[in-house]
Amino acid sequence: MNGNSFADIAVVACGTMSLELRALRDSGFLDTPALLFTTPGLHQDPRELERQLVSRIAKAKERADKVLVVFGGKFCYVNVDDPARTMKKVIAEQGPGVARIDATQCMDMLASEEEREAITQEMAGGEKVWFMTPGWIKFLREVFKGWDKARANENFPRHTGGAIVLDAVGYLDQFAAEQPEKFLEYFDWMGIPIQAYPVTFDRFKHLLLQKVQELDGIFANTTI
């Protein structure tokens, strides 16, 4: 391929990023033959995450020889029972035609660490911020599965700069306008202000295209 097309690459992703990936597909950028998702929020259940991820990759291989995995690394898969088993190892076991996006977690896919630091300064004066993507709002019950109000109180209020949603799809403003009661319920549960920060798809597209070129290179070398 020319390095700019996903026409021969299936995509497997965490459901938390489904809003962004479907938007890229609908725009024509992500011209993939298959877009498969795992259940959002499985970072809290590494065994189930691995089971679903391997299953989705196997299904994706039925549609394409190459598979691009849109998952973070060390922050999305932490196996406390086997700390040496990492996301990198899980992906490597799936074969040379499978590659994972170079990002630590979903927020990193939309804004780099340096960009997030700049956003923190701009929006919160350098105070500690809880970053999220729109999927963390849409899939609250899955992403924060098992979290009660007490656990929320232990974690969120420490982020004195509030919560910032890195929003490339305009989800938060639409959600607040269309479902104000649910938005206020989310706000009350977190106990900190929630605000959207509009971002572009530039970084996400760049990271995805990096893997297109990598996968094309792998297959080119195997056919020489």
Asked if the structure places residue 1 within a domain, the reply is no
> ∠ CA(188), CA(190), CA(193), 5° rounding?
80
Asked if the structure places residue 42 within a domain, the reply is yes
Q: How many domains does the chain have?
A: 2
Asked if the structure places residue 4 within a domain, the reply is no
On whether both 19 and 102 belong to a single domain, the answer is yes
Q: For 142-171, what is each residue's pLDDT tens digit? A: 999 989 999 999 999 999 999 999 999 999
On whether both 143 and 218 belong to a single domain, the answer is no
Segment 21-46 shows an average pLDDT of 95
With cut-offs at 50, 70 and 90, classify the pLDDT of residue 224: very low
With cut-offs at 50, 70 and 90, classify the pLDDT of residue 3: low
Segment 14-43 shows an average pLDDT of 96
> How far, in Å, CA of 213 to CA of 109, rounded?
17
On whether both 13 and 84 belong to a single domain, the answer is yes
Asked if the structure places residue 2 within a domain, the reply is no
With cut-offs at 50, 70 and 90, classify the pLDDT of residue 2: low
Are 166 and 199 spatial neighbours (Cβ–Cβ below 8 Å)? yes
On whether both 62 and 116 belong to a single domain, the answer is no
Percentage of residues of the chain with pLDDT beyond 90: 83
Where does residue 201 rank: exposed (0-12), middle (13-18), buried (19+ CB within 10 A)?
A: middle
Query: Could you tell me how many residues make up the chain?
Result: 224
Asked if the structure places residue 72 within a domain, the reply is yes
Report CA 175 to chain centroid distance, whole Å: 19
On whether both 102 and 207 belong to a single domain, the answer is yes
On whether both 102 and 167 belong to a single domain, the answer is no
Lowest model confidence (mean pLDDT) among 2-16, 86-100, 182-196, 208-222: 208-222
Asked if the structure places residue 89 within a domain, the reply is yes
On whether both 184 and 78 belong to a single domain, the answer is no
Q: For 95-141, what is each residue's pLDDT tens digit? A: 989 999 999 999 999 999 999 999 999 999 999 999 999 999 999 99
Model pLDDT, residue 219: 61
Model pLDDT, residue 221: 55
Are 194 and 172 spatial neighbours (Cβ–Cβ below 8 Å)? yes
Name the pairing type of β-strands 35-38 and 66-70: unpaired
Asked if the structure places residue 22 within a domain, the reply is yes
On whether both 30 and 102 belong to a single domain, the answer is yes
pTM, rounded to two decimals = 0.93
On whether both 93 and 179 belong to a single domain, the answer is no
The token pair at 112 is 């780099």
Arithmetic mean of pLDDT over the chain: 93
Are 143 and 16 spatial neighbours (Cβ–Cβ below 8 Å)? yes
Q: By residue range, what is the domain housing residue 81?
A: 9-106+201-222
On whether both 207 and 183 belong to a single domain, the answer is no
On whether both 97 and 205 belong to a single domain, the answer is yes
Model pLDDT, residue 217: 80
Model pLDDT, residue 12: 98
